């Protein structure tokens, strides 16, 4: 049934008169228009439209996790929105192939007209990074020193204020810290976990020691790696050691949040943990897709510019390559695989906890 009282026309609804006349090549202002500049403009405009949608979804997720209590039924919607963000990111990564149909010389025909404009000045992309949790203190040194220097005063003030607000990373950290199952009456899961991990590492050590086909030097290297892994397991459960590693940048999540995330991952098949596990998986995927985008962008820039500096004054490809390696957000969720155990080695949970994590129905009379 029609609900509007005024007829809706396709072109008016989408404001195509504005959208399709919003491409104004700079090269045309100085003479002959460079043919591929229109492609360059459209690709970046499409990026900005998708950034807007991602921020729309991210805002809805942030609003839920800003509440003192996140209800289980809300997680379904949050996972759905995060998966939508991932689908958009995958599309953005594929879009780089379109701009790579432009040759370096095609790009050179208009590039020098764009100075000093740069992707540095994409406010929506900066909003996305900051909103997820990539604030100035966690960026590579070049970003720390010049993150705001290429922006006008209004945009700079806006983003600096945004940095003061809690990010999704911080909201998720607080949510994980509230998980109630780390200690249950007299049951200490982590004591059992420590015993299970020690047994696993001892088995690994025994296997390496008995392999005859490797050299002594290679055996020593493997044993040293097992010793380092043992230290990581030890630090995970020791507040003082964990804090030291956190200060060194090895961990970003608080110890309690990290342990909660690990508990969810270890017992992901428990019904109550299914949606939290999906949510954490989505955050990992978002970080991975963002890293893939940075990597593809870096490769595209090297293909177009070689070792030339970027229009924004960065070192071009070298700068983008370093952001790929360092400007990460949910790295703790990636390194968590270090601390996982095979399902066969997992400590059994007490019945009261199993009942709270599962679905139980009273028998009918």
Structure confidence by residue, pLDDT tens digits, 246-274: 998 889 999 999 999 999 999 999 988 99
- Inside any domain, residue 9: no
The confidence score (pLDDT) of residue 279 equals 97
Q: Domains in the chain: how many in total? A: 1
2 domain residue, yes or no: no
Backbone phi and psi for residue 284, each to the nearest 5 degrees, phi listed first? -65, -45
Asked whether the beta carbons of 266 and 340 are under 8 A apart, the reply is: yes
Identify whether 95 is part of a domain: yes
The pLDDT value given to residue 142: 62
Query: Residues 325-358: pLDDT tens digits?
Result: 778 899 999 999 989 988 888 888 888 788 888 7
Phi, psi of 191 (to 5 degrees): -65, -40
Asked if the structure places residue 213 within a domain, the reply is: no
User: Is 221 part of a structural domain of the chain?
Assistant: no
* 122 is a domain residue: yes
pTM check: above 0.85: yes
The confidence score (pLDDT) of residue 304 equals: 84
pLDDT band at residue 124 using 50, 70 and 90 as cut-offs: very high
> Residue 313: which domain range?
31-185+249-357
283, 296, 324: which is closest to 91 by C-alpha?
Answer: 296
pLDDT band for position 60 (cuts 50, 70, 90): very high
Lowest-confidence segment of 175-179, 236-240, 353-357 by average pLDDT: 353-357
Domain harbouring 272, CATH code? 1.20.58.480
- Identify whether 92 is part of a domain: yes
At 136 the pLDDT is 84
Q: What is the mean pLDDT of residues 15-24?
A: 97
Say whether pLDDT at 19 is over 70. yes
Q: What separation in angstroms does the CA of 20 have from each of 15, 38, 43, 60, 101?
A: 9, 11, 13, 29, 22
223 in a structural domain: no
Give the mean model confidence (pLDDT) for residues 228-249: 90
């Amino acid at each position: 049934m029609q609900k509007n009282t005024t007829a809706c026309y396709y072109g008016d609804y989408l404001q195509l008169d504005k959208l399709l006349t919003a491409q104004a090549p700079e090269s045309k202002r100085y003479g002959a228009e460079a043919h591929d500049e229109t492609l360059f403009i459209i690709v970046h405009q499409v990026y900005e439209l998708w950034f807007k949608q991602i921020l729309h979804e991210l805002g809805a997720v942030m609003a839920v996790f800003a509440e003192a209590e996140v209800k289980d039924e809300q997680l379904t919607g949050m996972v759905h929105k995060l998966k939508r963000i991932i689908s958009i990111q995958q599309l953005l990564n594929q879009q780089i192939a379109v701009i790579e149909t432009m040759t370096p010389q095609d790009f050179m025909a208009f590039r020098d007209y764009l100075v000093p404009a740069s992707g540095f000045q994409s406010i929506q992309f900066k909003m996305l990074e900051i909103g997820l949790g990539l604030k100035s203190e966690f960026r590579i040194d070049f970003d720390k020193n010049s993150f705001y220097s290429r922006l006008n005063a209004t945009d700079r003030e806006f983003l600096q204020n945004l940095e003061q607000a809690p990010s999704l990373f911080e909201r998720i950290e607080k949510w994980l810290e509230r998980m109630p199952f780390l200690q249950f009456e007299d049951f200490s899961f982590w004591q059992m976990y420590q015993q299970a991990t020690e047994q696993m590492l001892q088995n690994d050590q025994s296997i390496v020691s008995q392999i005859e086909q490797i050299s002594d030097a290679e055996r020593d290297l493997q044993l040293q790696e097992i010793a380092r892994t043992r230290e990581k397991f030890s630090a995970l459960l020791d507040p003082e050691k964990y804090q030291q590693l956190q200060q060194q940048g090895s961990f970003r999540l608080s110890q309690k949040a990290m342990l909660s995330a690990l508990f969810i991952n270890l017992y992901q098949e428990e019904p109550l943990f299914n949606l939290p596990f999906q949510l954490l998986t989505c955050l990992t995927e978002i970080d991975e897709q963002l890293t893939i985008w940075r990597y593809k962008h870096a490769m595209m820039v090297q293909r177009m510019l070689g070792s030339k500096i970027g229009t924004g004054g960065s070192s071009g490809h070298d700068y983008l390559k370093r952001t790929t390696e360092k400007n990460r957000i949910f790295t703790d969720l990636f390194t968590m695989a270090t601390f996982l155990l095979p399902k066969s080695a997992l400590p059994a949970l007490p019945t009261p906890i199993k009942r709270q994590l599962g679905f139980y129905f009273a028998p009918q009379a």
